[in-house]
Structure 1
Amino acid sequence: MKAAVNSILLIEDDEATNFLNQVIINECNCFKSIHISINAKDALEYLMAIGKDNNCNSIKLPGIILLDINLPGMDGWEFLDHYGKLNLWGFNKTIVVVLTISPIEKNLCKIRDYDYLNDYLEKPLTFEKLNYILRKFNDQGKA
């Protein structure tokens, strides 16, 4: 599926998972760039740097964020708490998807707390899951 998504942000601490996700994303050929943050704090700093500029480079603004929940230090839930408070230019156009090994049933109550969380998927990322996310991106008019 070809989609007009400028960039994707992967927030994942596992190198092997990042490698496999990059392979799938690159083969999809739907993104102009991929940015990887191996922890939530670095991801927030990256997003704040982009969002501070009202004329920000839209190539760097992630159209999609794939977030692991089980991160060292600041976990994915804490990331979402901070992300929701950013209120920076352009972030209402970003699809945020949790991609984790934690089953959804374990986190249903937490998921409801984040109205800007667009989906929750279990690892691993597959072409089918990526296409599902891209369809959601396009259907929500964020392309």
Structure 2
Amino acid sequence: MNKAIVIVDDDPIVRLVIQRMVHNIDSSITCHQCENGEVGLLRIEKLQNITDYIVVLLDINMPVLNGWEFLDRLQQLNIVASDKFKLYMITSSTDASDKIKARSYPVIKKLYPKPLSKQDLKEILSSDEMP
């Protein structure tokens, strides 16, 4: 099965650390690093027809297209309703309004605080929903 993780975060260190943790847990998963929501959407559009399963790890605060704008534009893609697509929000925000707003997007499976721990990532990758 062809699995991909799309890491949408403007911090290159965060992206690199997550990618290394993913490869330590399961080296068969392909990681795609995207520095903002615009790049992330383009990557997902390309991947939706060539991968069996896509997990998105999405930051909130980014330049160009932030996490909320990304989610609004993502709703227009048919992939959101697919069982092969899962999205998790990762953020350093401690603002309660961000947590409330995240709950208003059904596509978000769970919100994780930064830094994402290896245990968090194992939870995401071993989710009952992930084939």
Q: TM-score, normalised by structure 2?
A: 0.87
* Runs of 4 or more consecutive aligned structure 1 residues displaced over 3 Å after TM superposition: 88-92
Q: Does 1:102 align with 2:105?
A: no
Aligned equivalents of 1:21 and 1:41: distance in 2? 20
Cα distance change on mapping 1:26 and 1:14 into 2, 3 Å? same
1:104 is displaced (CA, Å) by 6.3
Q: Does 1:12 align with 2:15?
A: no
Cα distance change on mapping 1:81 and 1:89 into 2, 3 Å? closer
Q: Which residue of the other structure, out of 93, 96, 106, is the alignment partner of 2:84?
A: 93
Structure 1: gaps of 5 or more residues: none
Matches within 5 A, 1:64-75: 64-75=55-66
- Report sequence identity in percent: 26
Cα distance change on mapping 1:89 and 1:13 into 2, 3 Å? closer
Q: TM-score, normalised by structure 1?
A: 0.80
User: Secondary structure at the residue paired with 2:106?
Assistant: coil
The aligned residue for residue 116 of structure 1 is 107
More deviation, 22-31/84-93: 84-93
The aligned residue for residue 133 of structure 1 is 124
Q: Does 1:25 align with 2:22?
A: yes
Q: Deviations over 1:33-62 (max 9, x none)?
A: 1111111001111222333xxxx2226x52
User: Secondary structure at the residue paired with 2:29?
Assistant: strand
